[in-house]
A and B are shown apart, each in its own frame.
Chain A
């Protein structure tokens, strides 16, 4: 069986500076895979390359058996790869509902879109209560919910979440993590970048530790959670 996403020897550079120096990993359908690592390790660069916003200088990206290297970003989403970007990036002057509709920008099945908007409101009731409100007026946690809900509106095969808990209160962080767990239990395939390594590894089937552009350690979520070097570097233990 081939994996849903196969990344092989991926290299990405900003000018002459290589930010991702040849990484390889796979995401199987139904799995949650997490990339952890410090700032500047190349995690966000990797996701932005997968969704086509950055062009790789080398390596292969295969999604659902198809190479993504030559596909412009606005077509990647139609293949089933949704990306909820770091910093949430909701459309601040649009209503919550219009933000969700933009998530379904390429879909034509009106009844299906309405059903999925309702599903997003079931997943995050606060969004439903404020559906007409401008998204820029939401709190950070609510904006994160909206960004996730919006990404789900494209009916993705793979959901990429970049730092969903960044800057959130501990309670909000728990809520977001619980939602990711719920999506996992529904069978959603997720590629997760998280600074909260503890939470991410507890959820993940597979984890990869990135350091300055390389994957330095890989294993199951549980393995990494109990790995001594990971505990020291990312879980704040000594």
Chain B
């Protein structure tokens, strides 16, 4: 049986989850040239926000009713933390050398992990995430797991909302202007401080949607989940061309597909049979990052700009 279509779909789904998280890295970088390394943890807190809402709801609530509320809970928590981080951790450092906010981001990332570990009930080990009933769904020879149905819907809808916002709304145009030339954007009347807050908030909201997808996909969440996933999403953002929001989604999908196909097929190559297991998936993702940095540092959709990291 040819399992390639199945592997491609698996990669596409995994990749669109990376893409949802990657949007936050790329948006914030595009506006303030900061790699917000705490973004993976903002994603993680979103998952715990969703879980909290689930635990508040009376037992036996239908998942179809609970899910929208859980998404809102995830977004509220992630956005609040991201906006708070911008206001109190990053804004005071806006004129500092670039290294200072970067170190702050890493510190914040550890602090958020530890805060959830210490204070969220029973979060010292993984917590079960509620699941959608029914499924899996068969389309021809391809099976989509029940937990992934959410991604099938949420990823394209999120992308459409984002594209509409950035291209068609006034705030979106102000955001593009701020990314291209912040001082001149101010001369046009764009309140760039507000744009920066919106960039953090939007990135967090998409990460929160990604966090719900993660919980549904893997069935459990934990305080460390943002670390590897954050790195993968960052890889996706770099892969697509950091600063480019479409690049984030495309980079995510390319990364997801590459990782899935490598895991599935690399052991077929003579002499590579040791490297085919799932535990090598992360390695292939980061090999891809290294290759991109070597051969196309501006990313797939990025422009050649001298001062971009």
Chain A residues near B (Cβ < 8 Å): 51-53, 72-75, 77-78, 82-83, 85, 89, 91-94, 98, 101-103, 105-106, 150, 154
Contact = CB atoms under 8 A, between A and B. Distances in A.
Contacts of A102: 173-174, 177, 185, 188, 190
A93 B303 CA distance: 10
Interface in B148-178: 170, 173-174, 176-177
A2 B5 CA distance: 76
Contacts of A98: 173, 176
Interface residues of B, number: 18
B187 A53 contact: yes
Contacts of B174: 102, 105
Nearest to B186: A73
B180 A93 contact: yes
B298 to A, nearest CB: 14
Nearest to B191: A74
Contact of B189 (A77, A89, A93): A77
A94 B181 CA distance: 11
28 contacts: A51-B187, A53-B183, A72-B186, A73-B183, A73-B186, A73-B187, A74-B188, A74-B189, A75-B189, A77-B187, A77-B188, A78-B189, A83-B187, A85-B187, A89-B181, A89-B183, A91-B176, A91-B180, A94-B177, A98-B176, A101-B173, A102-B177, A102-B188, A105-B170, A105-B173, A105-B189, A150-B188, A154-B189
Contacts of A53: 183, 186-187
Contacts of B183: 53, 73, 85, 89
Contacts of A89: 181, 183-184
Nearest to B170: A105
A224 B174 CA distance: 42
Interface of B: 170, 173-174, 176-177, 180-181, 183-192, 303
A214 B206 CA distance: 53
A100 B189 CA distance: 13
A73 B180 CA distance: 17
A-B complex: 7 closest residue pairs judged by Cβ atoms: A106-B189, A73-B186, A89-B184, A77-B189, A105-B189, A105-B188, A91-B180
B177 A74 contact: no
Nearest to A153: B188
A92 B180 CA distance: 7
B179 to A, nearest CB: 9
A97 to B, nearest CB: 11
Contacts of A78: 189
A51 B189 CA distance: 11
Contacts of B177: 91, 94, 102, 105
Given A102-B177, A102-B185, 5 more contacts: A82-B187, A85-B187, A89-B181, A91-B181, A93-B180
Nearest to B176: A94
A131 B170 CA distance: 19
For A53, A94, A102, A103, the residue with the greatest tally of chain B CB atoms inside 10 Å of its CB is A102
Nearest to A151: B187
A51 B184 CA distance: 11
Contacts of B184: 85, 89, 91
A91 B170 CA distance: 15
B186 A105 contact: no
Contacts of B186: 52-53, 72-74
B95 to A, nearest CB: 13
A94 B187 contact: no
For B180, B187, B188, B190, the residue with the greatest tally of chain A CB atoms inside 10 Å of its CB is B187
Contacts of A105: 170, 173-174, 177, 188-190
B38 to A, nearest CB: 28
A82 B189 CA distance: 10
Contacts of A77: 187-189
A83 B185 CA distance: 11
